[in-house]
């Protein structure tokens, strides 16, 4: 059946650049004569029939904004068969025969459920965690890295003035990609990620003592939220070294802000590609990036893939921060 009307939704944690993806998907479809409905608050909106028709101007003035104009949510009802059936019925009742879902791995599972129940669906990876294995860069990751870098640069100013150690927790759920890259960008003495077993003496204290001997007086320790415990870590560091230590959890500030060029362009390409796939009659695909190209994978295959952690980069980070 020819594609006549699509729905676009954002789901899970918001990520800067989601708006650019919504815009691109909506405009691509409208340009090709396909009607578009925006869905509010992720799968909740599909279940509760909370959607609205979009025109070319519905997505004006959003490309530079963080967050998502469609709002977002995590929807437990959609994890049930009844919830999925309700969503499918809402799609059918509204004449929707294609859905674009922008979100993280939970959202992609939802896209898989819709596809399995006969509703053609394409996923776009949007998460600051960059933890979608098939995709080198997810929407929001670049902006979040830059936001974190800016925040930690500020922490460094004050840590430097007081000869202190600043212990900073960055997001990433169970993944350390954000922490590793931010840690390198801010010249952290130690970067603690869930992918590498943590040894307090070896990974923090020895490094601080070693660098102190060559004159270093302030320190940045970047900790991924998947490891956590920055308050206790700061206390322990202070006790072990006598260096005043302060903990900061960057928190949700990392998810906000105007998207970077990279996120806007990536999101635009992904939104465009997602609609092209629906037009080609494809379903259950996730759009991805590899080596600066846009491609797509079967969602099931994509969710089974494992993203390698860059141990070379991790080792390099520690070799150069002495």
* Binding residue (CB under 6 A) for ligand F6P from 36, 63, 88, 171: 171
Q: Does 176 bind ligand F6P (CB under 6 A)?
A: no
Residues 251-280 that bind ligand F6P (CB under 6 A): 255
Stretch that binds ligand F6P, among 29-37, 169-177, 228-236, 298-306 (CB under 6 A): 169-177
Q: Name the H helices within 251-305.
A: 261-279, 299-304
Query: How many amino acids of this chain bind ligand F6P (CB under 6 A)?
Result: 10
Cα 174 from Cα 131, distance rounded (Å): 8
Q: Does 104 bind ligand F6P (CB under 6 A)?
A: yes
14: annotated active-site residue: no
Q: Does 13 bind ligand F6P (CB under 6 A)?
A: yes
Backbone angles phi, psi at 290, to 5 degrees: -145, 130
CA torsion, ordered 299, 180, 263, 106, to nearest 10 deg:
30
**DSSP bridge pairs for 224:** 170
Q: Does 73 bind ligand F6P (CB under 6 A)?
A: no
* Binding residue (CB under 6 A) for ligand F6P from 113, 129, 142, 169: 129
Backbone angles phi, psi at 295, to 5 degrees: -145, -175
Q: Which residue lies nearer to ligand F6P by CB, 159 or 182?
A: 182
- Residue of 113, 129, 131, 142 with catalytic role: 129
* Binding residue (CB under 6 A) for ligand F6P from 128, 145, 208, 234: 128
* Binding residue (CB under 6 A) for ligand F6P from 162, 173, 209, 318: 173
**At 163, is the secondary structure helix, strand, or coil?**
coil
Q: Does 139 bind ligand F6P (CB under 6 A)?
A: no
Q: What is the DSSP string of 80-134?
A: SHHHHHHHHHHHHHTT---EEEEESHHHHHHHHHHHHTT--EEEEEB-TT---TT
Q: Does 172 bind ligand F6P (CB under 6 A)?
A: yes
Long-range pairs for 48-53: beta carbons < 8 A, 24 or more residues apart: 48/90, 49/90, 49/93, 49/94, 51/7, 51/90, 51/94
Least spacing, CB of residue 98 vs ligand F6P, in Å:
26
Q: Does 16 bind ligand F6P (CB under 6 A)?
A: no
* Pairing between β-strand 165-170 and β-strand 99-103 as defined by DSSP bridges: unpaired
Point out the residues that are catalytic. 129
Residues lying near ligand F6P in the complex (CB under 6 A) are found at 13, 104, 127-129, 171-173, 225, 255
């Amino acid at each position: 059946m020819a594609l006549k009307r699509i729905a676009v939704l954002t789901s899970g944690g918001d990520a800067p650049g989601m708006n650019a993806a919504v815009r691109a998907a909506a405009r691509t479809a409208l340009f090709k004569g396909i009607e578009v409905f925006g869905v509010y608050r992720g799968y909740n909106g599909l279940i509760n029939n909370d959607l609205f028709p979009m025109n070319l101007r519905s997505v004006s003035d959003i490309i530079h904004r963080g967050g998502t104009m469609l709002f977002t949510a995590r929807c437990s009802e959609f994890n049930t068969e009844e919830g999925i059936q309700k969503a499918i019925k809402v799609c059918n009742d509204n004449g929707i025969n294609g859905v674009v879902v922008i979100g993280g791995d939970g959202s992609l599972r939802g896209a898989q459920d819709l596809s399995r129940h006969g509703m053609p669906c394409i996923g776009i990876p949007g998460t600051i965690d960059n933890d979608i294995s098939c995709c080198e860069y997810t929407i929001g990751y670049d902006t979040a890295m830059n936001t974190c870098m800016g925040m930690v640069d500020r922490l460094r100013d004050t840590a430097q003035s007081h000869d202190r150690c600043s212990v900073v927790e960055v997001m990433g759920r169970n993944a350390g990609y954000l922490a590793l890259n931010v840690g390198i960008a801010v010249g952290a003495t130690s970067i603690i990620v869930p992918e590498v077993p943590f040894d307090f003496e070896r990974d923090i204290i020895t490094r601080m003592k070693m660098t102190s001997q060559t004159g270093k007086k302030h320190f940045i320790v970047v900790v991924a939220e998947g490891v956590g415990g920055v308050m206790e870590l700061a206390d322990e560091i202070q006790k072990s070294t006598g260096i005043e230590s302060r903990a900061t959890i960057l928190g949700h500030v990392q998810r906000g802000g105007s998207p970077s060029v990279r996120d806007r362009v990536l999101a635009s390409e992904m939104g465009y590609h997602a609609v092209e796939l629906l037009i080609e009659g494809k379903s259950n695909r996730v759009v991805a990036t590899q080596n600066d190209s846009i491609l797509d994978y079967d969602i099931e295959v994509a969710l089974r893939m494992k993203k390698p952690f860059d141990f070379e980069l991790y080792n390099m980070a520690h070799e150069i921060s002495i």
